[in-house]
Amino acid sequence: MPIFARTVRCRISLYADDAGIFANPDKDELHAISTILKTFGEASGLITNLSKTEVFPIRCADIDLQDALSVFPAKIATFPGHYLGLPLHYRRLKGVDLQPFIDRFAGRLPGWKGRLLDKPGRVALTQSVLTAMATFHITALNLSEGALRKIEKIIRAFIWQKEDQSQTSGGHSLVN
């Protein structure tokens, strides 16, 4: 029977050159996915980097995962993990899970030398970069109100900072 004769059900998340494939821990299914990726790589030149490939098993306690993965060599990872910089977990994310993102978000500011920019320049910079970073995370994750308030506070402090103060201290917001 050809490898693709039976229906293989899997869900895929694609973003630029990254793919998240959600599959059953079935040897035949994983072999079919491996064959598809290999065939695609041969046709397009876009080869899957198996040294970066990770498998996050979910509810696989009673399955011989090593045997199933013998046809799809990948590292077995555990939760919590990351995909495209986003935290992955089987439970609802807590503030501590989102703190690295908020720190990275705030870490963008010191290099910008905001006090050398006028207010319209700071607004344009936050709209084009910081807002895009936040939007990427908000579309994929259900961010808590606390995380959203922290992000908003960072943006406001950068936009409304006084000319003679550092990035960390902001002036008073005159408008919403």
What's the pLDDT tens digit per position in 97-145?
Answer: 788 888 888 887 777 766 677 888 888 888 888 888 888 788 777 778 8
CA–CA separation, 66 vs 111, rounded Å?
A: 46
CA 129-134-135 angle, to 5 degrees, is 95
Q: What are the residue boundaries of the structural domains of the chain, listed by start? A: 11-78, 91-159
165 confidence band (pLDDT: 50, 70, 90): very low
Contact 37, 48 (CB under 8 A): yes
Query: Which of 89, 69, 78, 87 has the alpha carbon at shortest distance from 23?
Result: 69
**Pair type for strands 86-88 and 81-83:** antiparallel
CA–CA separation, 83 vs 161, rounded Å?
A: 34
Q: What is the dihedral of CA 146, 80, 138, 96, to 10 degrees?
A: 20
Element (H, E) at 81: strand 81-83
Supply 30's token pair.
């994983």
Position 24, amino acid: N
Q: pLDDT over 90 for what percent of the chain?
A: 3
Handedness of CA 91, 97, 98, 101 (dihedral sign): negative
